[in-house]
Amino acid sequence: MEELRALEPIFQNQLFQFFLWMALLQLLAQVFLDRRVAFWVSSIATTIIWLKSKDPATPVKAWVIVLIIFLAYLLPKLFFHFNLFLYVKGRKRCPECYSEVHWRARVCPYCRHRFKGVERAGEEG
């Protein structure tokens, strides 16, 4: 029971509560919508609900965090053709069929595309 008391300050944090509401609405939205659409619906709905009942600073902080994460993914992908999430998974993308394959693969197991040289994990052809 004492371990649960240690978590109490975390659950009282407004930013944590905002993201918790967003996660719950995300789960609900995914029942009816596509995963990407569900994210935007849940995050906008959470922001609207939060603005009507609580302080407006929390959604601004949350959206800054979401924007930073989005830019950390998007900028390397646009400028260096490097996919951070594929790198973390130890995968690369086949330029022919766009399947995820192991980063050391020399031939795509799906379309038999031969990769040129040694490519790093996360690189997109």
pLDDT band at 99; cut points 50, 70, 90 = very high
- Tell me: pLDDT of 20 over 80: yes
Is-contact 101 94, C-beta < 8 A? yes
Which pLDDT tens digit goes with each residue over 104-119?
Answer: 999 999 999 999 875 5
CA distances from 84 to 25, 66, 78, 115 (A): 26, 16, 11, 20
Please state the pTM of the whole predicted model: 0.66
Which of 37-41, 76-80, 113-117: highest mean pLDDT? 37-41
Please name the helix (run of DSSP H) or strand (run of DSSP E) that holds residue 11, with its range, or none: helix 2-12
Domain residue ranges in the chain: 2-80, 81-125
In 10 A of CB 101, how many CB atoms? 20
Q: What is the mean predicted confidence (pLDDT) over 86-92?
A: 89
Q: Residues 14, 55: contact at Cβ < 8 Å?
A: yes
Name the phi and psi angles at 122, rounded to 5.
Answer: 90, -15
- Which bin fits 103, alpha (ψ -120 to 50), beta or left (φ > 0)? alpha
6-19 pLDDT per residue, tens: 888 898 999 999 99
Confidence band for 29, pLDDT divided at 50, 70 and 90: very high
Residue 122 has pLDDT above 60, yes or no: no
Q: Residue 77: what pLDDT?
A: 84
Partners of residue 89 on adjacent β-strands: none
